Structure 1
Amino acid sequence: MSSSTLTRPESTLDPAPEDYRRRAGLSVDEARPARVLPLLGKVLRGSAAILLFAALWEVAPRIGLVDAVFLPPLSTSLGALSDLVASGQLTEHLRASLTRALIGLSIAIATAIPLGALIGRSAAVARFLNPVLELFRNTAALALLPVFVLILGIGETSKIALVVYACFFPVLLSTITGVRTVDPLLLKSARSLGLRPLQLFTKVTLPAAVPTIFTGVRMAGAASILVLVAAEMVGARAGLGYLVTAAQQNFQIPAMYAGIITIALVGLSINAVLLLAERRLSRWRPTS
């Protein structure tokens, strides 16, 4: 080996000392911005519209474009949000809403995916169930809220049942579509390898349908919060919907907007969690 060849010093615990990196052309000052700047630019581009909206919300009431009584500046609403967190009220309402939404969403997923897979694979079952499914699919969940309250009462059961109803059909329809649109060549190849029907479904059909299924699951996640908040506005003593309604009735406008901001953040969080779950279950897909 030539004496001019760069060798890594063994007398130091630093795997790549600064002088070693400099002689190798791997300067920290040059390499780190090369990695950080593209990521920072991507984050800023993705947040530009939100930052613009936040700035408009802050400035418009202050310069008189809107009445600050009915639309206080964003900083005032965030201050009210901080007060709700400090008092523990937000935690109580958030816990109530999340519990109802997650229980309802879980029940909907657990029932809709097996039924959707069965309908997607069996034409006879599809012909038998399609009329009643079409009837209820086109009936708005909130239109049935009085029915759920009359049958199940005004307690937790009616609210969870309403969330199940609202979340069931997006997951069901996406599962049916996902199962029916699996590549026939993929199924033919799997059969030629000797896979039995159950193995074919669990190892080929269901994994291939996961991206389509999760489209419906994410729609159901959004529906779980929207429908639940509306139900809590009608009859509840705790929850984000109740928080918004109570603040509006008591003319606590900043607290009302604090509740609305919390609802939006909860929806974003649920969607982010479902996206992460989809990526973990779809690791076989090529990444762009």
Structure 2
Amino acid sequence: MVPPSEILARLVSIVPTGEFAGDAGRTLMTILLAFTIGLVGGFPLGVLLWRIPAVGRVLEPFLVTGYAMPTLLFYPVLLAIMGLNVGPIIVIAATMSLIPIALTTMVALGAIKPTLHKLAKSVNASSSQYYLKVLLPAATPLIFPGVKLGFIYAVIGTIAMEFILAAQGIGFRAGFHYRELDTGDMWAYITVVIVLSVIVSGILTWIEKRIRKDML
């Protein structure tokens, strides 16, 4: 451990540099791309699992297993297939993000009151109206915690993979300084990750509260 004053001093000297800007940009781009893939893939998958119960019963155990299993174990295979680039990091972080989004979507849609389904049928709602104006608003308060968790897992996956499989990024710098025994710089980059996580968590919590308030 190093004194907090030294960590702050290293932060002040590191943050204004072009190297830090490049690392931060790379990490944020990877997180956003992984989360977008997880969201775009996880939401339709959750709808499919809910809409076709037989598919849900077959796939749910595999998704739950994947949720519990550390996907970082697959990085050697992805490394051999995709090479030493950002691809394996995005795949693993996106997978970590997709699973909670899909499972939460399935559970949220299954928890909708039967009266809403009957109401949609009684007014002859089209398929698009049924999903966009009935199911989505009703399920959003329960879906959003999964989306929030998916974003958090995208951050975790990205930072963890950068630590062991990258040549650029916040996670890579923390790992680099750890291996070089530059304790002050290592804790400075760890502090950046902590601050980023707190900010993201705060923003997502605020959005969730707004959604729940609007749905009341």
What TM-score results when the alignment is normalised by the length of structure 1?
A: 0.69
Alignment RMSD (CA, Å): 2.0
In the TM superposition, what are the counterparts of 1:2-21 in structure 2 within 5 Å? none
1:253 to 180, 183, 208: 183
**2 CA distance for matches of 1:254 and 1:132?**
42
**1 CA distance for matches of 2:180 and 2:202?**
34
- Confirm or deny: 8 A CA contact 2:89 2:161 kept in the other structure: yes
**1 CA distance for matches of 2:54 and 2:140?**
24
2:141 to 202, 211, 214: 211
Alignment match, 1:113: 43
Q: Deviations over 1:153-211 (max 9, x none)?
A: 12011111111111110111111011110122233233323323432221111111112
1:240 to 170, 176, 180: 170
**1 CA distance for matches of 2:42 and 2:165?**
27
Deviation (angstroms), 1:134: 4.4
Q: Deviations over 1:15-64 (max 9, x none)?
A: xxxxxxxxxxxxxxxxxxxxxxxxxxxxxxxxxxxxxxxxxxxxxxxxxx
Which region of structure 1 is more displaced relative to structure 2, 231-240 or 277-286? 277-286
Larger relative contact order (C-alpha < 8 A, sep ≥ 6)? 2
1:152 corresponds to which letter in structure 2?
M
1:181 to 108, 111, 127: 111
1:233 corresponds to which letter in structure 2?
F
- Confirm or deny: 8 A CA contact 2:162 2:172 kept in the other structure: yes
**1 CA distance for matches of 2:184 and 2:86?**
28
SS of corresponding position for 1:262? helix
Alignment match, 1:65: none
In the TM superposition, what are the counterparts of 1:1-288 in structure 2 within 5 Å? 71-130=1-60, 132-279=62-209, 281-282=211-212, 284-286=214-216
**2 CA distance for matches of 1:225 and 1:130?**
24
**1 CA distance for matches of 2:209 and 2:168?**
34
Deviation (angstroms), 1:282: 4.9
**1 CA distance for matches of 2:16 and 2:57?**
55
Residues matched between the structures, number: 216
Which region of structure 1 is more displaced relative to structure 2, 181-190 or 98-107? 181-190
Percent identity, aligned pairs only?
26
Alignment match, 1:37: none
Unaligned runs of 5+ in 1: 1-70
- Confirm or deny: 8 A CA contact 2:137 2:215 kept in the other structure: no
**1 CA distance for matches of 2:58 and 2:200?**
34
Runs of 4+ in 1 over 4 A off after TM superposition: 279-283
Unaligned runs of 5+ in 2: none
- Which has the larger helix fraction? 2
What TM-score results when the alignment is normalised by the length of structure 2?
A: 0.90
- Confirm or deny: 8 A CA contact 1:77 1:257 kept in the other structure: yes
